[in-house]
Amino acid sequence: MKFRVERDALADAVAWTAKSLPSRPSVPVLAGVMLRVSDGSLEVSGFDYEVSSQVTVDIQGDADGAALVSGRLLAEITKALPGKPVDIAAVGAHLELVCGSARFTLPTMPVEDYPSLPAMPASAGTIDAATFATAVAQVAIAAGRDETLPMMTGVRVELSGSNIALLATDRYRLAMRELEWRPDDPEISINALVPARTLNDTAKTLGPLGGDVTMALAHGGAGEGMIGFSAGTRRTTSRLLDGANYPPVRSLFPASHNAEARVSVPALVEVVRRVALVAERTTPVLLSFGPDGLVVEAGGSEEARASEAMDATFSGEPLTIGFNPQYLIDGLQNLLASTAVLSFVDAFKPAVISPAADDGEIVPGYRYLIMPIRVTR
């Protein structure tokens, strides 16, 4: 194997592929990226039996072939190279990389020991890449991080005709985004539970490419239990989580509310951050709404306290409710709006945060539900 490639194209391809590689692989070859040259193009791929990543790069190829090298090491090297063409050749059990006057020799691993990448499932439809990336980011923030509860670490993708709903919860908050896409089958009705971290990384990478993302999902049979995404020269697949017993989280959104507040998002985020400085990790911030506006307060150790008043438009009986400050900030920042509408049933039931347009109307599509923390005062 021997070829020449542009440094930036190589660095991007290797960085994207290496990002999903396991830090502690079950077998050494899974820490590698596969470089395969054929017909004037380079295929860079990685696979850990759960997530596969593959990208194709244009090159000047002198000799076809394949080599398997440490993904993280190659990513660090290619990122640090000068901005010149890179010559790469497989020589015996090593890979030689030359860029300007820089030269690296890396050990290779046995290509024959590397598992075959899974085939892409059948296409289910397409969606605008930038819109998809934004929607996934809005929802993935609410997914759980506790690997002992794998179901909660996923984003539930509900495909129903031309509509997609994305939902995620860690049991303390719930995010839901609904949007449109272009299905191959107008009658499609499939639900899938995708690992949130994988989905977020994939969407974040494919979003800036522009154009459309193709979503591939097996309808049963071969490839079932797997989802795939492709855009441009990049494609990735991921195993699905078992979502058979995923809770009916939509029912958590209250059918009606008794009080409602409209608040400036940047101002509330700033105030919550400031007041929470005195709060310990598990201490909530208290939001007291009334006809005069909003007071945000928190108490910490050794009698440290903070409070700050700010403008808010409020309708309903005066209300004091406590929230985890970081969960509250996460929800506000992902509204992508300058005004937030907070809807309440009472101080002990979940509150719903929605984005509002300049005219004050709630913008449909995104809702963030947050559980209150009971506080004795």
Task: Report if residue 71 sits inside a domain.
Answer: yes
Q: Which backbone phi and psi does 339 adopt, to 5 degrees? A: -125, 135
CA distances from 40 to 5, 53, 64, 87, 157 (A): 11, 20, 8, 14, 38
How many domains does one find in the chain?
3
Q: Point out the domain boundary residue: 195, 216, 250.
A: 250
Task: Report if residue 69 sits inside a domain.
Answer: yes
| pTM of the model as a whole | 0.91
Q: Which two tokens stand for residue 221?
A: 């049979």
**pLDDT confidence bin for 376, thresholds 50/70/90:** low
Q: What is the pLDDT of residue 358?
A: 83
Please tell me which of 19-23, 229-233, 279-283 the model is most confident about, judged by mean pLDDT: 229-233
Question: Do strands 182-183 and 123-128 pair parallel, antiparallel, or not at all (unpaired)?
Answer: antiparallel
- B/e letters for 79-105, b = 16+ CB within 10 Å, e = fewer, are eebeeeebbbbbeeeebebbbeeeebe
Same domain, 142 and 240: yes
Q: Which two tokens stand for residue 226?
A: 């797997």
Same domain, 129 and 244: yes
Same domain, 194 and 288: no
Mean pLDDT of the region 277-291: 90
- In contact, 280 and 325? CB cutoff 8 Å: no
- In contact, 194 and 240? CB cutoff 8 Å: yes
pLDDT in tens, 187-227: 999 999 999 999 999 999 999 888 999 999 976 544 568 99
**Separation between Cα atoms, residue 121 and residue 107, nearest integer Å:** 34
Q: What is the pLDDT of residue 221?
A: 47
pLDDT in tens, 28-40: 999 999 999 998 9
pLDDT in tens, 320-348: 999 999 999 999 999 999 999 999 999 99
Structural domain span for residue 294 = 253-370
pLDDT in tens, 236-264: 999 999 988 999 999 999 999 999 999 99
**Separation between Cα atoms, residue 179 and residue 195, nearest integer Å:** 20
Same domain, 261 and 359: yes
Task: Report if residue 336 sits inside a domain.
Answer: yes
Q: What is the pLDDT of residue 220?
A: 58
Residue 85 has pLDDT above 80, yes or no: yes
DSSP state at residue 241? B
Q: Which amino acid, one-letter code, is at 11? A: A
Residue 78 has pLDDT above 50, yes or no: yes
Q: Point out the domain boundary residue: 189, 221, 250.
A: 250
Cα 325 off chain centre by: 21
Q: Which two tokens stand for residue 195?
A: 């690992």
3-state helix/strand/coil string of 3-34: EEECHHHHHHHHHHHHHCCCCCCCCHHHHEEE
Lowest mean pLDDT among 137-151, 194-208, 296-310: 296-310
Same domain, 100 and 159: no
**pLDDT confidence bin for 360, thresholds 50/70/90:** confident
Reduced to 3 states (helix: H, G, I; strand: E, B; else coil), residue 210 is coil
Q: What is the pLDDT of residue 69?
A: 97
Q: Which amino acid, one-letter code, is at 307? A: S
Task: Report if residue 118 sits inside a domain.
Answer: no
CATH number, domain containing residue 358: 3.10.150.10
Torsion of CA 55, 58, 60, 61, to 10 degrees: 40
DSSP state at residue 281? T
Higher pLDDT, 23 or 109: 109
Closest by CA to 152, choosing from 237, 252, 245, is 245
At CA 313, angle to CA 310 and CA 316, rounded to 5? Answer: 120
Q: What is the pLDDT of residue 55?
A: 96
Task: Report if residue 377 sits inside a domain.
Answer: no
Same domain, 158 and 76: no
Q: Which two tokens stand for residue 77?
A: 């090297």
Mean pLDDT of the region 130-142: 97
Task: Report if residue 117 sits inside a domain.
Answer: no
Q: Which two tokens stand for residue 199?
A: 């989905």
**Separation between Cα atoms, residue 229 and residue 56, nearest integer Å:** 15
Same domain, 259 and 362: yes
Helix runs in the chain, H state only: 7-19, 71-80, 129-140, 196-206, 265-275, 325-333
- In contact, 366 and 335? CB cutoff 8 Å: yes
pLDDT cut 90: percent of the chain above it: 86
- In contact, 192 and 227? CB cutoff 8 Å: yes
pLDDT cut 70: percent of the chain above it: 97
Question: What strand order describes the sheet that includes 86-91?
Answer: 60-63, 2-5, 86-91, 94-99, 102-107
DSSP state at residue 278? G
The mean predicted confidence, pLDDT, of the chain is 93
- In contact, 4 and 60? CB cutoff 8 Å: yes
